[in-house]
Chain A
Amino acid sequence: MATEAMALSQTDKAPARGAAGLHRFANPARFSRLSARLLPWTAALAVGLIALGLYLALFVAPADYQQGQSVRIMFVHVPSAWMALFCYSFMALASAVGLIWRHPLADLAAKATAPVGALFTFTALLTGSLWGKPMWGTWWVWDARLTSVLVLFFLYLGYMALWQAFDDDAKAARAAAILALVGAVNVPIIKFSVDWWNTLHQPASVLRLDGPAIHASMLWPLVVMTLGFTCYFATVLLLGLRAELNERRARILRQRALSRL
């Protein structure tokens, strides 16, 4: 416990004032206990909600009068796209907290979020193509929405690559955080691309100022799948964050062992 606190204090010279509430979880032992308690719940909720969402999406939701059964792809495409944006926003926020307040867990939380966000961006693009081919007649088009989501995918990859590019953890965290924050401008661009530009991709039907424009029989599966995907994100984040903390402690112990030789 004491060695962890010492190791942390070396990277955390400025105590977090603004993040005072979160600072309680800076202690890795406390986070370890909290995440151990949360994980079974987030995992169970993820599985349950996704299973329910799949049932609703495949058996309860009606076929679309124009798109037929292909509209069911919406129930993996839209939640993936929402999660892609949510994860990036979370990653950017965690990066900002890490940069400004030097909260010890923040950088690692951002790092642990990236693979999930990249995965959802990829599945959004893939399922979008699989939906676009029968509906639009094309796998791909360089409109504002698709192009900006592709840029998001590259931002995720670049972010993960930056973490690997430095030997020093603190330098890597800084560089990655800056990329995350600079790239954050892409999030509103993606969201409003269908309004600002003339896109093949359809405009928003759910998250709009006038409220959802789709029927409850399609809205509910969408909501349930999204909640399930969110619980999945929480699960993978907690698992990954625990792993990152262990690996960082292992690096510190290894350095200490080397200095003993």
Chain B
Amino acid sequence: MDSIGAFFAMSGYAAYIWPAFAVTLGLMAGLAFWTRRRLKASERLLAALEAEAAAAEGGADRTDGSEAQA
């Protein structure tokens, strides 16, 4: 029990050591997850725009055909 306490106390330097590790690793994790979220959002956006573009082109073809018949 005492050695775990001693480990966390880091001979009195705990107030400096633990924030250093925590902030570094925390920010790294944060950036990684934020970037991944941005990637997922961009994939959804792109899928929606591509579907819209495909639908628009499909509609344009039909319009040309019917105009020619009319």
Contacts and interface: CB of A to CB of B under 8 A. Distances in A.
B20 A243 contact: no
Interface string A235-261: 110011011001101100110110010
B53 A232 contact: no
A246 B47 CA distance: 10
Interface in A95-141: 115-116, 119, 122-123, 126-127, 130-131, 133-134
A112 to B, nearest CB: 8
Interface centre among B12, B19, B21, B56 (most CB of A within 10 A): B21
Contact of B20 (A131, A236, A246, A257): A131
Contacts, number: 98
Contacts of B53: 253, 256-257
Given A242-B39, A243-B42, A70 B16 contact: yes
A250 B46 contact: yes
Would you call the interface of chain A mostly helix, strand, loop, or mixed?
helix
A130 B42 contact: no
A253 B32 contact: no
A247 B42 contact: yes
B32 A254 contact: no
Interface of B: 7, 10-13, 16-17, 19-21, 23-25, 27-28, 31-32, 35-36, 38-39, 42-43, 45-46, 49-50, 52-53, 56
Interface of A: 50, 54, 58, 63, 68-70, 72-73, 76-77, 80, 115-116, 119, 122-123, 126-127, 130-131, 133-134, 232, 235-236, 239-240, 242-243, 246-247, 249-250, 253-254, 256-257, 260
